[in-house]
A and B are shown apart, each in its own frame.
Chain A
Amino acid sequence: MADESQEITLLETLDHLLDRGVVIAGEATISIGDVDLLYLGLNIVLANIDAVARSSQK
């Protein structure tokens, strides 16, 4: 139970790190394990595919 709780906390922390906050223009090449898809570009540095889809609709 404690392990599960720690895992959830870690996932939540990484979700906030990778998918929240202000996006700054830049360029980077990043790949992380089996994360669904990392989008790289001039204006969106790093986001998973759902975040990219959201941004593209704004």
Chain B
Amino acid sequence: MAEAILEIAGVSKSFDGLRAVDRLDLQVHRGEIVALVGPNGAGKTTLFNLLSAFLQADEGGIRFDGRDLRRESPHLVAGAGIGRTFQDLRLFRKMTVTENVMLAFRRQVGESVTGAFQCWRVRKQEQECAVKARESLAFVGLQEHAVALAEALSYGQQKLLALAMCLAMDAQLLLLDEPVAGVQPEMVVRILGLLREMPAQGRTVLFIEHNLQAVTEVADRVVVMDEGRKIAEGSPSAVLQDPRVVEAYLT
């Protein structure tokens, strides 16, 4: 087995006494596609918020690529190589599709006040970014919508854009919150196709999804959560027939 890129050990998070995540252990290996499933309120999104440092764990340790993430802030975690999408699909809606992608690129000279006035360097880097943005958009199949406003895209296309932004920021670990929920069947196929290409690019995927068919199709491994705990883990075919899992989902 490849090395663990993400190690979660005994992590808990409570809100007003409610244990949203309860002593969770989880390891994700480089190049793996892991699905996180479980009923609503199982703590999946809370776990994502912990991993991306929007929340701080009450106890336990989170290591990404050997680096301790417990006291980091969101932008530093992003800089370390963890990209995420949001369940409520956040985009810069009033900005163009290309601008959305260009915002995701890291280490831009012109993003500081002093850098902004180095016009020649900025222009050169902007041209490079524009080229890279076109490539990212072509990869997810949005090249024809490059100048559209993000809000003008269909729901499925917006999900593709969110994915393109994670790729543009050069995330090594992608945390995708329901990447195919609520999109049309053809779009599901397209998004799943893209997810399958991630390991070949050296990227790791941890995704939350309720669409169990999609999970079965792309996940190497499934982790089932209920009431903040991991209740099952293993290959999709084995786990999704586990009576405990079936019970958690049906009750």
Q: Do chains A and B stick together as partners? A: no
Q: Which residues of A contact B (CB under 8 A)?
A: none
Q: Which residues of B contact A (CB under 8 A)?
A: none
